Chains A and B, each alone.
Chain A
């Protein structure tokens, strides 16, 4: 089975440019999560969706960050304008809900390594 697919794997761009990260969750999963990972702060949840609806975006650092999920098989995380401090690895993860079983695990994509110069 295909796992969570992210693109691009690497992105290097200059400060001020718009950056768009893409994610395709595992088919049948109804939760999608965007994380950012840095050495200093570890793995931070930015936003997550349930059935394509944003549930909690309290982790989104600033208005420069936005995320959408137009359908069950696609999500984007956009940074506009980008800044050097946005440099990190961005992971997308998905999971599914199961009645009677709390907290199903999340499955991660390979991540996008973002460098803002």
Chain B
């Protein structure tokens, strides 16, 4: 059973701090990794994708991928109350069809003013 694991949280950080969200996956051959943000009562929204080892930065967001450790993380700098949401990690498994993603259950982030 191919799995994606996330700490369910809640993760609580003060406004302005760095929030660090982590995700591990079981399939060593996984190739594509995504972070989605989901506000309460809303649909998942793609915020980052990463395909190769290392860091990828987009504004206040940085995705980090370490395939050897089967670990992907999302850093949110200068956290804002509007960042409070559930963050879903998604992985395309090796050998899976082009679009087949496995989602983690998400980490709930709370940014306190």
Contacts and interface: CB of A to CB of B under 8 A. Distances in A.
A56 to B, nearest CB: 7
Contacts, number: 61
B34 interface: yes
Interface in A1-46: 31, 33, 42-43, 45
Given A50-B97, A56-B97, A110 B103 contact: no
B99 A103 contact: yes
Nearest to A98: B98
A105 B98 CA distance: 10
Interface in A92-111: 95, 97, 102-111
Contacts of B34: 103, 105
A50 B90 CA distance: 19
Contacts of B45: 108
A117 interface: no
14 contacts: A31-B99, A43-B44, A43-B105, A48-B99, A50-B98, A50-B99, A55-B97, A91-B43, A95-B98, A104-B99, A106-B90, A109-B43, A110-B42, A111-B43
Interface of A: 31, 33, 42-43, 45, 48, 50, 55-56, 91, 95, 97, 102-111
Interface of B: 31-32, 34, 42-46, 49, 51, 88, 90, 92, 97-106
The 5 lowest CB-CB distance pairs between A and B, nearest first, are A103-B32, A103-B92, A42-B105, A31-B99, A108-B43
Given A48-B97, A95-B99, 16 more contacts: A33-B99, A43-B105, A43-B106, A45-B100, A48-B99, A50-B99, A91-B43, A91-B44, A95-B98, A102-B98, A103-B31, A103-B101, A104-B98, A104-B99, A105-B46, A108-B44
